[in-house]
Structure formats: structure tokens, C-alpha cells
Amino acid sequence: MTQVLSALPVVDEHHVDRRRYPDGVVFMDGQYLPMSQAKISVLDWGFLHSDATYDTVHVWNGRFFRLELHLDRFFGGMERLRMKLPYDRETIESILKNCVALSGHRSAYVEMICTRGSSPTFSRDPRQAENRFIAFAVPFGSVANKEQMERGLHVAISETVRIPPNSIDPSIKNYHWLDLVKGLFDAYDMGAETALILDTKGHVAEGPGFNVFVVKDGSLRTPAFGVLPGITRRTVFDLCAEIGLSATAGDISRAEIKAADEVFITSTAGGIMPVTRIDDAAIANGHVGSITRRLMDLYWQKHDDPAWSTAVAYSVVVT
């Protein structure tokens, strides 16, 4: 059931052959395809040089969460990387919704990607490359599983230093993950479940695909330097403003994070996730804290709020 973009069809779920889309749906080269058929050229600069930007939004109970903010960041990244696509914002939003509707997933991890593409003449001049757009929807996945969400994650702090922001702009979501992957291996070697790495000043920065918050004396703080300004990170600020909690961005030392009353991480892949152990030490009493639990509950409640979420039309008449 390959669909061509020029028609931009809406999707009737009763006419979707689920066997063609068992694990998800990808849009590329003007068509919707099963994930198993997704292919990218080895000459694409996104593959050869990590020359790409992307954004990831999730769908929960059939609703996109904070889709507009993710689209804002995606288009901002393309502009700063001097990339251009033949699709406007409205068209890309329709493609994302179609991917989810075709997949049938009520909870999904949805990604939009723009790569530098490649030059028809294999030129090394990036101005001659034809930028490429890819989008896909697959089943929702979380950084933390159910057990970890209940007891809290064990995180280790790696000595690995994050790519400095004067080299790679951290506000542009990118695939430069070798520092984060090294941090993960360091964490696994220490018996932890995931990692935090440092900024160039030696302070705590972020982890593989997530930001981090500390809670001390009822106030929240998150690193400000050299980190991706995550959408879930921003959501925590919005939730704190709504319920009257203080939340700021600033440097966090290793000593400060270990002395915190509570610690949690934030990501589109999982939301607000508690941390109860850093390196070999428990955070406070080693249990998920009350402020973390309150924010977790409020975060998931917002997924049904039309002011924070956008419904997916799974069953409409094909035009």
C-alpha cells in the first residue's frame, strides 16, 4: 500500500494492510513504505559525515505531544545548517501524521530528518548537495523501562567531555554521538544503566538523548552550558511555572548532583525519569522523590490536554 506524496492522502485505518507495516512506517522519496524497505545512499552526507539534523516527537494515546515545539526546533536547525526542503511546515506535519496513521500505533516514536544529501557529481561542495527528507513512525520506546521508572535509574558520570558548543551548536539536534556512546560504555563498565558526561568546564552536561535536573531544598536546576535545550526539559520549566516551583539553568558540579535531594532525567523517549543512584552512591534515601513523582504525574496528564497535544486522525475517508 505505497502512497505517493503528491496526493497527500488522508488515511482510512480500515483499508491499511497491517502486514505491510508490522513495525512502523517510513516516508522517503515521496512514498510511504514499511520500515524494512527504508534505505539511504552510502553517498549521502548524512551517512558519510553526520551532516544532518533531526527531531523526534512522540505520540501517546493517539496524540502528538508538543508537536509545534518539535517542528520549531527542526526548522530552526535546518535554517542554521543552511538546508532547504521542497516541503513546507504544513506538509511535513501532514507526513508525520500519515506515518502514524498508516502504522496504526497509538503510542509511537516519530522522527523527522533532513540530511545534506549528496551531489549528483559527487562534489565536496555542500552547496551542491540535494538535501533529503525522511520521516518515520515506530512503536514508542523509553530510555527507562517500567522497573527503572518505579525504582529509579542507576547513572554513572563518565570522564568523557561533550563536544564543545563552539564546535557544534548543541541547539541543533544532530547525530554526533561518539562522545555519548563512549560515555555509555564507561557507564556499563561501572555497572550503571546509563551515563552522564561532562562539559568543557568539568561540570555535568547531559546524557545520551536526555537532559538532567537536580532538586535541592525544593528548587530545580538543570545544566545550561553545552547541552541540547530539550523539549521535555522546556516542559519541566513550564510545569514548574504552573505549580509554583523554582526552576533555573546553571552549572552543576559532580558534588552537587550527588548531594541532591532528587535527580531526574528528561527525554522525548520516556518523559521525566527518576534517578536514584549516581556512581556508587544513592541519591538521598535512594527512593524516587516527591517532587519528581509530582512532575511525572502532571507530565503524563498533559498528554490529553488539547493545549499541549495534537490528535492523530486514524480513521477518515480517503480523498
CATH architecture of 146-304: Alpha-Beta Barrel (3.20)
Q: Please say whether the beta carbons of 228 and 207 come within 8 A.
A: no
* Residue 12, strand partner residues: 315
Phi then psi dihedrals of residue 141, to 5 deg: -135, 150
What is the bridge-based pairing of β-strands 211-216 and 262-267?
A: antiparallel
Cβ partners under 8 Å of residue 112, min gap 6:
54, 55, 56, 57, 70, 74, 92, 95, 96, 133, 134, 135
pLDDT at residue 20, as a whole number = 57
pLDDT at residue 22, as a whole number = 60
Q: What is the C-alpha to C-alpha distance for residues 276 and 202, in angstroms, rounded to an integer?
A: 22
The third-level CATH classification (topology) of the domain covering 3-140 is D-amino Acid Aminotransferase; Chain A, domain 1 (3.30.470)
pLDDT at residue 21, as a whole number = 55
For the chain, which residues make up each domain, given as ranges? Answer: 3-140, 146-304
Q: What's 162's DSSP letter?
A: P
Question: What spatial distance separates the first Cα and last Cα of the chain, rounded to whole Å?
Answer: 15
pLDDT at residue 122, as a whole number = 87
Q: Please say whether the beta carbons of 26 and 35 come within 8 A.
A: yes
Burial of 318 (0-12, 13-18, 19+ CB in 10 A): exposed
pLDDT at residue 3, as a whole number = 39
Cβ partners under 8 Å of residue 55, min gap 6:
70, 71, 73, 74, 77, 111, 112, 173
The structure's pTM equals: 0.91
- 35, 202, 218, 14: which is closest to 101 by C-alpha? 14
pLDDT in tens, the chain (319 residues): 343 333 333 444 444 455 555 689 999 999 999 999 999 999 999 999 999 999 999 999 999 999 999 999 999 999 999 999 999 999 999 999 999 999 999 999 999 999 999 998 989 999 999 999 999 999 999 999 999 999 999 999 999 999 999 999 999 999 999 999 999 999 999 999 999 999 999 999 999 999 999 999 999 999 999 999 999 999 999 999 999 999 999 999 999 999 999 999 999 999 999 999 999 999 999 999 999 999 999 999 999 999 999 999 997 533 3
Q: How many CB atoms lie within 10 A of CB 59?
A: 27
